Amino acid sequence: MAMVIDGKRVCLYMSPTFYEEHKDGKLHYYPGIVTENEPGYNKTDWDWGTDLEIAQQCADEYNERNGCSKQEQTEIVMSSFRASRMAGLL
């Protein structure tokens, strides 16, 4: 079972757009926290480096260690996309 906060499942999500450019010109990736049925995501300050594939693996591993299966991750993220669409954010 995924982590639950205030009665809603949450997971970490890594998107190719979740990055910041550092002073050295490299893109550093930061995961977002997605909450079931809520639009958008919450930014974190967890710098997971410059390799997107590794950052995505880190998010998957974090979710799995905390009881969130890939299926649950997909359900949580899709519910957030739907909520964003309903709110007119997409």
Q: What is the pLDDT of residues 36-59, one digit of tens each?
A: 999 999 999 999 999 999 999 999
Residue 78 CB neighbour total at 10 angstroms: 12
> Residue 88: pLDDT above 70?
yes
pLDDT at 3 (0 to 100): 85
Structural domain count, the chain: 1
> Residue 82: pLDDT above 90?
yes
pLDDT at 90 (0 to 100): 64
Domain range for 26 is 3-86
Burial class (CB in 10 A: 0-12, 13-18, 19+), 52: middle
pLDDT at 1 (0 to 100): 78
Note the pLDDT tens digit of each residue in 10-23.
Answer: 999 999 999 999 99
